[in-house]
Structure formats: C-alpha cells, structure tokens
Structure 1
Amino acid sequence: MKKRGIFASVLLLAALFLLLPGCSREAEGRQVDSIKVLQGDGQVGLPGRPFGSELVLELLDVDGVPVPGAEVRVQAARNSDLPVPAERFRADAGGVVRIPVSAGKVLGDNYLEIIPVGAENRSRSCRFVTGLEIDGGRQQGAAGSTLDRPISVRVVDADGVPVAGQPVYFGIVNAPEGGAARLSDEVAATDSSGVARTRVTLGSGTGGYEVEVKPTGPDGRLLTRGVTVEVMGLNLPNLLISAFAGLAIFIFGMHLMSDGLQKTAGEKMKTIIRLFARNRFVGLLAGAGVTAVIQSSSATTVMVIGFINAGLLNLAQSIGIIFGTNIGTTVTAQIVSFNVSTLAMPAIIAGLLLFFIPYRNCRGIGETVLGFGFLFYGMVLMSDELTRIADFPTVTRLFSHFDCTPLDGVMPFGAVIGALCIGLVVTMIIQSSSASTGIIIALGAGGLINLYTAMPLVLGANIGTTVTAQLAAIPANRVAKQAALAHTLFNVAGTLIMLVFFYVPWGATEVPVFFHIVDAITPGDAFSAIPQNVPRHIANAHTLFNVFTAVILLPFVMPLAHVCERLIPAKRKIKYTSLDPYLLENPPIALHQTVTRLRTMTRSAWSVFEKTMRDTVLNGGYDAEKREEYRKRESKIDRMQEEITAYLVQLAQRELTLPQSRMIPVLTHCANDAERLADYAELVLKEAARLAERREKFSKKSEKELRTLFDLTGRMASKVLAALEKGDEEPAGEARELGREIRQQVSRMVNAYPGNLRKGSFNVESGIIFLSLAGIFRQAAERLDNIAVRASSLTRYEWEERK
C-alpha cells in the first residue's frame, strides 16, 4: 500500500510538471491590440532635463494578455519637442516597454506617439509638460489638518529662466467622500524665483485629494491645460472602523455560510464520518469535503480531535483527514478571489427571503446564500478601504519591511521569514486560516502586497491555524494530542518544502519555480510592472501549495504517526470520552454519540441489576462485605446519567432542527429510566439481606418462578439494547411484548400467593420477600419498556431528520 501511494504521488507530480509547458504563453503570432500606461504619463519637467520617471508601457493582445518581445516606434507629435534615445523599443518578457524621455525647448503640452510595429492603428499618445517644476505632491497628513509643506509651482521660459509676476491658478478637482478640503490661495503670483505656492487643508475623508494647477507663461497666457497634483489624507479611526467592520462581516458571513451548509447536510455528516475509517486516501477526500462545508480547517481539526477523544477514529485515520482539511480550506480563498462583488447585495436579499421560508432545507440554503452575500460584502469593504491607502507613503514604507520581491533574482530570506511570522501571529489571534487568507487576498486586491509577499503570509497562516487544534487537545486524551501534533508537523513540513521551491529558479526567467507554475495556470501576469489579477494568483497559489504538500506527504502517514507516538508516548491507558464537548458544534454527531453513550449506560445498568440479582438472590450467595462493591457499580451509573443530562443541556443551547430538539427530552428520559433500573439493584440487596438475616430459603417452585422472570427480563433488556443500537422498531416491539408477559407473570404470582401461603409452600416472611422481588422485576420491566417506546421515537425522529 505504501509503495502504491508513493508511486501515485510521484505520477501526479510528474503529470503536473509535464503539462506546465502547455500552460506557457507564447507570443508568436499575437499582435498588440492595446497599450496600457503603467507609469510616466502627465509628467512635468524643466527644459532640457530628463523627466523624473521613465515612461512604462504594457503591450496587450486582444485578450488583455501581455505580448513579450513586441516592438513599438516612438516619435514626438507635431509641434512637440521630446527627445528620446531611440526610435524603436522592444518589450521584455512581461510585455513591458520602458522609455526614458527628456524635455525639449517647446513650453507647455508636448505629446509622444507610441506606435506598435505591425499594429499601427493601435497607437496612443502620452502627454508631457515642459516649463514647470512642482513640489509638495504625494504628501500625507491626518484628516482635517494642513499639510506641512505647500504645493509649489516653479514656472520657467524655454531657456530655464524663472518667470516672475505671473498668476498660477489652483483648484481642488477631486476628493474622497466627506472631503471638503480647502486651499489657502486659489490664485498666487510667481515670485522672483518663478515660484507660486498654496497650502492644502485636508477634509475628513481618507484617500487622495487632487489639486489642479494651471500656470501662465511669459506671455501671460495659460501655459498648459490643468496639471493634477495628488496629496493624501488619512482618517485613521474611520479607516480602522471600516476595515474591521469589513473583517467582522466577512467572518460572520463565513460562519453563517458554514452553519447553513451544515444544516443542509444534516445527517449526511455521519455518513462521511463512516468513510473516514476506510483508508488514508478516502480520509483525505472526506477531510477536504467536510472542511469545504465548514469553511475552516481549524473547526474540522477540532471536530477530529473530538472524534478521537470519543474513540471514533485512530491516529492514522485522523492524519489522513487532517491532510484533507488543508485542501478544503482553500475553497473560501477561491470564492473570495473572484470579482463578484456585484452579487453581494442580491445574495443578501435572496438569502433573507429564503431564511424565512418554514422548511428546514430552505432555511439552510437561505443561511448559506445570506452568508455568501455577507462574505463578499465584507470583502468589498476591506478591499475598498485598503485600496484607498495603497499609495500612502507610510503604508508603502511599512509593507516594504517585509516585501519579498526578489533582489538580483533571489527572494530576501529575512523578509520571507518576517512575512511568515506575521501570517502565523495574525491567524493565531483570529483562529481562522480562511479569514487570514481573505485578509491577504484583500491586501493583494488593494495593491498593498504582491504575489511574492502574499505566499509567505499564506504559509504563516497555515501554521498558525494549528494552534486551535493544540488548544482543543489540551483536555483530550493522548491520541488526540498526537493528532494535533501531527497537524502542526504536517503544516510545518509543507512550509519547509515550499520555502525550498522559493529559491529554485525556473529556467532563464529567474522566477522561482513555484511562482512560475502559479502564474502559468492563472490569467494575467503577476510579475508585470503593475501586477495583474493578484487575488486569483494568491488563491491558486494557496490551493496548489496545499494540494502539493498533501500529495507529497500522504504516503508518509504511518511514519508521521510513529513520530507523534514517540514524541507523546503512552504513560497510562487511553481514556475515551464519547460525549466530547467539541462534538457539540455538530448536533447530528453529538446526538449520535449521546445515543451511543445511552446504550452503554443501559447495558451497564442492566449488568448491575443482573449481577446483583444473580449473585445475591438466585445463587443464594449474599455477602454483606460485598455490598459496598455493588453500591459503587450503581454510583457509576448515576455519574453516567449526570454526564448525559449535562451534555444534553449544553446541546439544547445550540441551534437545532425540530427533530433534533425533540430527541433531547427523549434521551433525557431514557437516561433517567436506565438510572432507575440500576437503582433497583439496591432494592434487591435489601431483600437479599432480609432473606439472609432470617436464614430463609425459597421453595423450588418459587425459585423457578423468579428465574423465569429473570430470564424474561434479560431477553427484554437484550431487545431494548438492540433497538438502541440498530434504530429498528422491530426489537423495540418485541421488548414491549416481553414486558407485557412479565407483568402478566407477576400478576399470576401475586394472585396465587394466598393459596400457596395456605398450602405452606413458604412462610409469611419469605413470601413477602418473594412478592417484593417479583415487584422489582415488574418495575425493571416498566423501565425497559419506557426505553423501548422512546427508542422507537428516536428512530422516527432520525428518519424525519434524514427526510
């Protein structure tokens, strides 16, 4: 089996790498359909000097995909003077062209024509302004404050001589919502240095404020059409409130969608659990499926801890499931990475309408759709707020500390580890890798991080999510602790493997092999000057990483289990707890475990009654010294009854379906009946003590009648246990028939008592004890009859739940 698993894993990986060449984007035969300006358009400069930034263009085909190697011709437009070092430029591997441009002697607006070779009709113009120098742009300040530096405009003539005494017009042409910014001067004359100034007082909104500048030249006429200068205002309290509100709505939507899917799945969860025990491959698929429903690998792993603690799974089975949880948790990232924000409000409306339809499946579907809508609405809020501050100097400086973009072809190791630690800590705090990955995708959508930085953050989130399982395993048994350790070791091992691939380049591109694969299978170029489709790249990288590590490490489930057993060795016998508190989050499974515990309790209660009756009455071996031993057995049943009742009280506080809520009082009454059955053992002890004290004995006929009742009650108990175990009404009906037979037998015994007493079959003392024992059998039968009736009710409610 191990060899077949390794062979299958290698085969899958080989197929993946063989298919990759087919995913590469060949430029041959593709023409430039459009030109996208990434940087440099609209710059101002002084005559004869280079402009501050290169003109950076991206050449795209009809599908919006970059065309590497394409050529463009560059020429100044009519009446423009813009010297460039060459007439032709070729795009790099990312379809990007970089053109250094200098200012000439012609003042005002100048235009540079960009003409794709072979697609001349797809040309475009880029604007440059000569004769100006602007200072004070790209400043950042607190909302409502006046910026530290004024916006200064220097005007010169064609020879670079300052133009004094000419008016410069200023005006705010764009501001974020709630802006209301002000200028100290809307018209200012240039001084002897050719400089005019105005100060900006920011409004209350967060984002960019655009100030339009219209200078006049030496002849007194407008030198150029308006030039825009951007400054930035930050309202930190409002930004944090909006961003965290978006995060809260996102997490709420994720949980609501998870609850709705679980309600829709209902009893099917138990079927999935039965699949767990087959083998590691089925466990992998089951773990992925359950996590895709629950939307949280942490929640699934906690559930697995509960199964182990209840004795439903062993260590090797649980490890296969844990491998699958890492794959299933990528579903959330895939969902939120698509730009379907327009569906948020319709989904919320549709979900709300479905939620109020009084049918269980409709209500579950309604919660799912409503959660879907809130998920996307929260994502939109987060992305919008982060996009507002993406270009803020303080923000870019902050994110530059852990920017993982390769330097000289190598990702900076310190930044990679730093980003990994940030992802780990954030996930430890919010206890959900799906939520962490959603935040990372929002950062990518807002332009704050690139794919290189996002992936180490994702790796950190994958490790951080294991903390939840570690906390859940603290009160659990040894095997549960081993499973939590296996989860951590697996995620750490996968991270270490992936870090190696960060430093293995793909061919001559020097792009790490893992990132090349992600870029090859995802639309858009993540490595262009302005990265494209970053959210989808992050989601696909997250999925590919988890699938890759699961395939690689799945054949090593047993060695990993042995390592965990060595690290957490056996010190005492494992104690299983069928009523694990972590199972309460899944009511169908919690109820199933309660029935299992009830069956154990009923069997134990009958065992106490049976042993007490046989040892002390039927075999005539009453021993006063063993009375305390019998009482301890009965006390154990009392504790089981208290445990079941307390568990059902906790379960009743969860959100349950109608059949589930009806099962709780039924199970409570069953536990009470089983406890009373064990209590009758104490009554048997008292009658046996009276019989031994008076040194009385029953006649052979009386003893035979008691043995008949004993046998009938034993058969009845077996049928009741079968009804609880199989969920079948047939053994429950047979148990009730035996109960009627017992009651009839006791009635005959009571009616025959006066005649037997007159015949001298037994004396008064032994007769009273005989009748008391017969009455105890009847009471025991009544308790078993109650359980049988309620076992039928449980079967009916389970059928309604499945329906």
Structure 2
Amino acid sequence: MFPFFRAVKSYSLTLIAGLLLLLGAGCGESADATVDKIRVVDGAEQCTLPGSPFAKPVKLELLGPQQPGMLGGKGSRAPAAGAVVFLEPADGSDLKVEPATVTTDEGGGVTFKVTAGKNTGDQYLRVIPKDHPGKSITLRFITGMQIDGDERQYKTGSVTTEPLSVKLVKPDGSPAAGVAVNFDLLSTSEGASSRAKILTPVAVTNADGVAETDVQLGDKTGIYNVGISVVNPEEGFLIQNKTIKLLGFNVLSVVIAVLGGLALFIFGMELMGDGIQKIAGENMKKVLQFFARNGIVAVLAGTLVTAVIQSSSATTVMVIGFINAGLLNLTQAIGIIFGANIGTTVTAQIISFNLSGLALPAITIGFVITLSKKRTAKGWGESILGFGLLFFGMTLMSDELKLLADFPGFREAFRWFDCTPASIGGWMPIGAVLGAILIGLVATVLIQSSSAAMGIVLALAAGGLINFWTAVPLLIGTNIGTTITAQLASLTANRVAKQAALAHTLFNVFGALLMLVLFYVPFGPQRIPIFLYFINEITPGNVFAPDPQNIERHIAMAHTFFNIAVVVLLLPFLSQFAKLCNRLLPIPADEKIHIQPLEPNLLATPSIALKQAVSAIHTMVEDAWKMVDQAVNMHFIAGVSDKEKYEALAEAEERIDAMQAEVTAYLVQITRRPLTEPQSELVPLLMHCTNDAERIADHTALILQLTDRLLKTGKKVSLSGKKDLRKLWNVLDDQARNTISALGSTNPEQVKFALKDERRLQKMAAKLEDAHTERLRKGKCQLANAVIFIEMLGEMTKIGERLTNIAERTPEIQKHYIELQK
C-alpha cells in the first residue's frame, strides 16, 4: 500500500507542476508601467444633463505589450501597474474630471469620475499615458440628453409596450423643443432578414424636450441595437449614433432550440457509441486500457483530453460512450472523470477557445465516411458524425441560452447573493453562500455548459457586478451543475454508465462540501477563509482591495486549485469510490447489461423488429390508399360532401400520422442495436417509405378541399370529366395495388408493374390536362371548374409519385426482406 501512496504523491506533484507551468501566465507574469493598450471596462458613452455628474465612474484597464503564448498561442498582456495617466477634455469639450491625473494600480486599473459642463452634444475626454502618449484614446460622453428605455425587455414579434424616449435640455437647463431626433435600427439578432423596424424614424421634441418612438421587434431572442442621432448646431446639439439596447425574448423559440439541441446531443452520443462499438477491436481496447490502466494515468488522460477539447461535459459524455461500448470499466472511467474536472479549469484561462467550429466539419466528414460499405469504416464515420452532432446539439442549446446573459434580469439574479462578510474578519453568510452555489448550479444546468457558465461569472466579475467572495461559491455551483450533462447522457445508457455519471456528481458534491468547510476556516490578520487567502497570495493583485484587482485571474486560479485539491484527496481511494457508486446504484445479479435499454420482446432481435417495421409500413400504405380511394370516388367524382365521413377521414389521417411517428421512433430504436450491414442499409429505406406513406394520406384532406370548392360553384364533375378521371384512377389504382403487393412480398415483378403504371399515369395526366385546357379555350367549361379539375389531376399524379418512391425502394427492401427470412 505504501508504494502506491508514494506513486500517488509523485504523480500528483508532477501533475500540479505541469498545471503551474501551463498557468504560468497567471502566476509568473510581472507587471510594469509599459502601456501598449487601454481597455474601457465601464463608464464610456454616458448621457447626463448640463452641470450634472455622469452616473457611473469610468473604469479603464491599461495593459502592456502582447506576450507570446505557449505553442504559438495568442498569449496575454500583463497589467501596466504604476502608469501615470493624464485626463484632458478634447475638441472644445468642457467636461470636468476628478482627479485629472491618475495612477494605475497593481492590476493596471484606474477609476475616475466625470461631470458634464454647460456645452451640449458630444463631448470628448482624452486619456493620455504620460510615458506613452501614442497609446492614448478618446472617450465620448453626451451632455444635454437623457434616454428612457435602454436595456428594457420586451416580447419578440411585438411593438414595444413603452415608447423609447429621448429628452434634450439646453445649456441653461430649459427643455429643447422642436429639435429633430433620428432613430436608426443599427443591428438585430436576426441580421438583414429581420422584420424589426423603427416606427417613427424621425421624432421632434415636444415642449418638454421629449421625443418618442416605438420599435417593432423581430421574432428572435436577442439584442436590438438602436442608434440615436441629433444634428442641430443651431440649438447646440451634435450627437452621433448613441447606441442603446432593446432586449427581445421569445420563450417558445428558446424552448424549441434547447429541446432540439438536447435531442441532437443525445442522438449524437448514442451514434458515437454505436460507431465505437463497430470499430472496437482488441487493438482499440488495448489503447484505451493503456490510457486508463491505473488511476494516475487515467487522471492524466482525462486532464489532457479535456484541456484540448475545452469541455468536461464532452469528456464525460465520451466516457459514457466508451462504457456503453464495453471499452472501459467503472474504475477506469472514474479516473478519467477525475482528470476531466482538472482539465476543464483551463477554460477559465483561455475562455475564448471555441469547439463549436469543429461540429459541422465532423458532421460532414463523418457523413462521407458512413457512405462506405465496410463495417469498420462505417463505424468510424458514425463515431465522427456522432461526435459532431453531439457538439452541434450542445452549441444549439448553449447559443440560445447564452443570449440570456445579456438580459439585466438574468445578471441581476447573481447580485441577490452577495457572500461578502458583513465586517472585516466576519463570517461569509451561509444563506448567501448556499444561494450562490444554487444559482451557479441552475445556470449551468440551463446552459448545459460549465464553460459558458464560467464565462458569465468572469464577465459579471469584470463588470463589477460580483466580487471574489461571491464568484467562488458560484463556480462551485457550476462544478455541480456540469454533472447534469453526464446524467442526461446516461439516461439511455446501461447501468455501468449510470454509475460513472453518479461518480461525476458525487465527486463534485464532495468538493463543494469540502470548500464549504474551508469557507469557515479563517487565516491571516484579516481572517480571510484559508483557501481564498491562498489564491490571493499566489495571484498578482489584491482581490480583497476596495477596488478588486485582477479578479478574473483570481477566479480562474481558484477554479483550478479547487479541482486539483479534490482529485489529490480522492485519488488514493479510487477503488473505494467505485465500490460506493456500485453500492448506491447496484447492478442486479440477473440483469444483463445491454448497449441500450430497449424493449426486449421486440427490439432484442433486430431481424424481427425490422420485419415488423416492414409490415407496419405495408399497413400504412394500405390504409392511406383506402383513404384516397374514398376521397376521390365517394366524394370528388360523386360530388358528395358528407361531414361525418369527412371527420372519419380526418381521424384516419391522424392515426396515420401517429403511426408514422411510432414507426419512425421504432426504427430509430433499431438503429441503436448491433446491426448487420443489410439491416443498417434497410433502416433509412424504411424511414423514407414511412414518410411517403404519411404524405399519401395527407393528400386526402387536399382532395376533400377540392370537393368542397367544386360544390360551392354549384356544379359537379361532368360526365366526360368523370370518364377521364376514372380512366386515370384505374391506372393509379393499379399502381397502388402493385406497390402494396410488392412491399409485402418478395416478387420483383410487382415492382416493374408499379413503375410502368407510373409512367402511364404521367402521360395520361398530361394528355387530359391538355384536352381540358382546350375545352376551356373553346368555352365548353367554366374557368373555376377547369382549375379545380386540373388541380385534381395534379393531386393524383403527386400520389403516383409517392407510390413510385416506395416502389423504387422496394427491390432493396425485398432483397433484405429475403435475407431476414433466413
């Protein structure tokens, strides 16, 4: 046992040393006064009345030159600490700045207040680094204007319930009446196709100096940027494109996008597992076993993989897929999951890394490879395609919900739980700490990405909305919330995969409990919680200063060392941890572990399931054809409108729709079973046939609509028209019967007859249409009746096309059907 612990210590130190080297930019970079870039954190582009202070102080960050990153990466900029900055009004502006000269702190930050003068319109302030004047920037402020409506939230697709209003005030404080205010829609979340618009592009201020307009929002959730301009030099106003945000929210679109993304995510995971199953030979097992042959190597593998793909969710989902394919046992999987928790912390260091760009290439490449007829190649294709669909689904979910981060109400929710102690050396309020953990958990569950949730935490901290005291409980919550991905992925997986998902949750819950205890272990003269004190000591800047310094780096370092500490503590007990999961979620002795939990009586044997699917489609085509028969002969040709029979046909169509959904879902379930190549090739053919059968039934409603239109004209189909339709019907009926017969048999001659009937049908329909057009030209029939007759010919030819689609696929179905009988 002791050699094992010595190995644990050695590997753990190596792991921590490697991470420290990776994060060296956070711990080792030195700050100096060299200024290469000035970043506006907050406070620019504000509006106020003459002589009044602007509401928010201006916050700037001065940064040094760009440093090269590891392996040719983008790198980072060190804060320009101790740099002297001059603040001077520019271009005739009369802004007042307090103080006029500032010095950057250790994090390169400066904060100052600005007060408006008497001059109205755009006013400018020059920010000039003393030793680097060439890097100066100009900030704009607006005097004499107040805006009501910025960042209001409205329902998409509607007109704003409250007008967007602008108030203009002259230098002496009196309202500026009769001034034209221009409103322009600068951009929307929908791009050029948006139907959003400004209802009053130019509004004139009233006696109170107020100009108003309403805005029609588009249909998509997101930001609608409106530009406000005032060009009236005579009144002292020259304001160019002051941008404000209107927020549109569409509950339905968000729900649809999230559910659709979730469906793609689960389907991609299962497709990836099926592909791995097809390519999983002994060689692949040896490779996987090498990476997970013991706990230390498994942790390293999980760390490196997650650091590369920037998603612990993706890593744990892949682990679930490997378990589902029988390539990993529970102990090996837990080791990789431990490592994934460390690897995911790199996200906070390089948050801009975006994996979504790989989704579509993976889908494209995977689809092309699946066209191969070789089982192994097809397995690789399915694995790559499933990988792409998995990330595409995750992106679809997160992209829609990420928009909520721009909504003030969403951001404000984080401010309700301020975890700062009431006094220096006091305790963090336990209620606020638990509340912050819960918010981080819920946000991550909703967004389905701990990376996205961490991005929101970092953005809120950078904007001064939350402090370090609150950010750490939030990131602990994101750690727990990210386990929902593994839980969702395991819903359709076997029991061992469910145990791995449980291990992920238990690991992160244990870490949260550990950190909760450490929050109440004070250290140092100010009695700061020991873990927070440690992070502050190893990270540049004082995050506990009145104006927190370098808070984003502190949060990232806290995230990293928190997960390292938990892994180091639990790694020696990896086997015991696996036994705990097995005890909490035991596998019954008589339970057989399947790749997917499917209905045993029908789906356990794919050949029987496929034979049943063919039989169901055969029934669908028969029922759909009976409906068409009734609609054409009992209603249109007979000129009869029977409400009860109409309703019966509508109910029959609903049954066909329901049957299509059932058969399609059933076929999807079959694809999750180990299939032979003929079985795999048969599934898409049957899906297409199912869709065509349902479309044939859909034509029933269209034919009944033609019947009602014909009866409203007061006429029925003429004798010659009935004769023509019956001739065409006989050909179509013969085609349908041949198709139905071929679908339920192994006789290839029926297919030939069906395809021959389709060619006859097209030629006959064309001749009948030409003849009817000629009668219409000679005035032998009314225009309305002629149009309806021609539309009826079109419906019959379209039905013939659907039958042809089925007939053309039937030879392959027959070939596989014969094999299924063997």
The partner residue of 2:94 within 72, 81, 93 is 81
- Match of 1:385, SS? helix
> Does 2:229 match 1:210?
no
Query: C-alpha deviations, 1:687-712, integer Å up to 9, x for none?
Result: xxxxxxxxxxxxxxxxxxxxxxxxxx
CA distance in 2, matches of 1:276, 1:25: 32
Match of 2:369 in 1: 354
Match of 2:37 in 1: 34
Measure how far apart 1:81 and its partner are.
Answer: 0.8
Conserved? CA contact 2:221–2:250, under 8 Å: yes
- Match of 2:246, SS? strand
Match of 2:817 in 1: none
Distance of aligned partners of 1:366 and 1:443 in 2 relative to their CA distance in 1, 3 Å threshold: farther
Q: Which runs of 5+ in 1 are unaligned?
A: 587-649, 662-803
> Does 2:56 match 1:53?
yes
1:432-443 maps to which residues of 2 (within 5 A)? 437=450, 440=453
> Does 2:478 match 1:458?
yes
Query: C-alpha deviations, 1:404-440, integer Å up to 9, x for none?
Result: 789889876435434545676899x99xxx9554664
Letter paired with 1:41? A
Measure how far apart 1:37 and its partner are.
Answer: 1.6
Match of 1:187 in 2: 202
Distance of aligned partners of 1:42 and 1:334 in 2 relative to their CA distance in 1, 3 Å threshold: closer
The partner residue of 1:104 within 117, 128, 131 is 117
The partner residue of 2:338 within 321, 326, 340 is 326
Distance of aligned partners of 1:555 and 1:514 in 2 relative to their CA distance in 1, 3 Å threshold: farther
Greater RCO structure (CA 8 Å; 6+ sep): 1
Larger Rg: 1 or 2?
Answer: 1
**TM-score, with structure 1 as normaliser:** 0.57
CA distance in 2, matches of 1:294, 1:49: 50
Measure how far apart 1:5 and its partner are.
Answer: 0.7
- Match of 1:389, SS? helix
CA distance in 2, matches of 1:166, 1:469: 60
CA distance in 2, matches of 1:503, 1:86: 40
CA distance in 2, matches of 1:255, 1:403: 41
Distance of aligned partners of 1:302 and 1:143 in 2 relative to their CA distance in 1, 3 Å threshold: closer
The partner residue of 1:655 within 674, 677, 687 is 674
CA distance in 1, matches of 2:500, 2:357: 42
Match of 2:393 in 1: 378
CA distance in 1, matches of 2:166, 2:62: 34
CA distance in 1, matches of 2:252, 2:95: 46
Distance of aligned partners of 1:413 and 1:362 in 2 relative to their CA distance in 1, 3 Å threshold: farther
Match of 1:234 in 2: 249
Conserved? CA contact 2:16–2:564, under 8 Å: no
CA distance in 1, matches of 2:533, 2:125: 36
Letter paired with 1:106? N
Conserved? CA contact 1:111–1:127, under 8 Å: yes
CA distance in 1, matches of 2:373, 2:552: 42
Query: C-alpha deviations, 1:568-605, integer Å up to 9, x for none?
Result: 9x9xxx9855x73256799xxxxxxxxxxxxxxxxxxx
Letter paired with 1:232? L
Over aligned residues, Cα RMSD in angstroms?
5.6
Distance of aligned partners of 1:334 and 1:35 in 2 relative to their CA distance in 1, 3 Å threshold: closer
Distance of aligned partners of 1:249 and 1:546 in 2 relative to their CA distance in 1, 3 Å threshold: farther
Query: C-alpha deviations, 1:199-222, integer Å up to 9, x for none?
Result: 333332322223333336583575
The partner residue of 1:168 within 151, 169, 181 is 181
Match of 1:71 in 2: 84
CA distance in 2, matches of 1:469, 1:342: 22
CA distance in 1, matches of 2:107, 2:227: 34
Distance of aligned partners of 1:148 and 1:503 in 2 relative to their CA distance in 1, 3 Å threshold: farther
Query: C-alpha deviations, 1:296-318, integer Å up to 9, x for none?
Result: 6488589989999xxx98xxxx6
Measure how far apart 1:83 and its partner are.
Answer: 0.6
- Match of 1:225, SS? strand
Distance of aligned partners of 1:235 and 1:13 in 2 relative to their CA distance in 1, 3 Å threshold: same
- Match of 1:550, SS? helix
**TM-score, with structure 2 as normaliser:** 0.56
Query: C-alpha deviations, 1:531-555, integer Å up to 9, x for none?
Result: 9999x987x9777655542322223
Letter paired with 2:220? G
CA distance in 2, matches of 1:362, 1:306: 17
Conserved? CA contact 1:258–1:294, under 8 Å: no
- Equivalent residue pairs, number: 575
CA distance in 2, matches of 1:383, 1:403: 26
Conserved? CA contact 1:286–1:321, under 8 Å: no
Distance of aligned partners of 1:366 and 1:154 in 2 relative to their CA distance in 1, 3 Å threshold: same
Match of 1:551 in 2: 568
Conserved? CA contact 1:327–1:543, under 8 Å: no
- Match of 1:581, SS? coil
CA distance in 2, matches of 1:140, 1:319: 49
Conserved? CA contact 1:142–1:233, under 8 Å: yes
Conserved? CA contact 2:493–2:596, under 8 Å: no
- Match of 1:101, SS? strand
Match of 1:672 in 2: none
CA distance in 2, matches of 1:303, 1:139: 47
Measure how far apart 1:31 and its partner are.
Answer: 1.9
Measure how far apart 1:24 and its partner are.
Answer: 1.6
CA distance in 1, matches of 2:289, 2:506: 26
Query: C-alpha deviations, 1:672-730, integer Å up to 9, x for none?
Result: xxxxxxxxxxxxxxxxxxxxxxxxxxxxxxxxxxxxxxxxxxxxxxxxxxxxxxxxxxx
CA distance in 2, matches of 1:498, 1:385: 32
Q: Which runs of 5+ in 2 are unaligned?
A: 67-75, 599-668, 681-822
Distance of aligned partners of 1:35 and 1:342 in 2 relative to their CA distance in 1, 3 Å threshold: same
1:611-622 maps to which residues of 2 (within 5 A)? none
Conserved? CA contact 1:305–1:469, under 8 Å: no
> Does 2:212 match 1:197?
yes
Match of 1:796 in 2: none
CA distance in 2, matches of 1:655, 1:191: 75
Distance of aligned partners of 1:439 and 1:15 in 2 relative to their CA distance in 1, 3 Å threshold: closer
CA distance in 2, matches of 1:225, 1:482: 60
Measure how far apart 1:263 and its partner are.
Answer: 4.2
Measure how far apart 1:392 and its partner are.
Answer: 1.7
